[in-house]
Structure 1
Amino acid sequence: MVSRTTIVVAHRLTTVKGAEKGKHESLMGIKGGVYASLVELHSKSA
């Protein structure tokens, strides 16, 4: 990531290994993606 700081806290390195990267629009387009799932859950709770 250029000009970005990312902090990942995980108990397992495999969690970090599978982390998604990209812009919001592209991450939302990944069906079954972790990012899209978290955004959807957040939207429902608001």
Structure 2
Amino acid sequence: RIRTVLCDGAIKIDMHRVRLVAPGKWMLCASFVLPKSVAYAKDKELLLS
């Protein structure tokens, strides 16, 4: 899902479990480097890409 929202399938994402919030439901932490194309894009550009 993160790659889809950022429109970049090549980013490396590290994920780990934080805690159990309900039976069978984990809170997760995702760490990644934000691509420059996303960091410096205007809102309109993100919506159109």
Higher relative contact order (CA 8 A, sep 6+): 2
Structure with bigger strand share is 2
Tell whether the structures are fold-level matches, with TM greater than 0.5. no
Structure with bigger helix share is 1
Q: TM-score, normalised by structure 1?
A: 0.25
Higher gyration radius (CA): 2
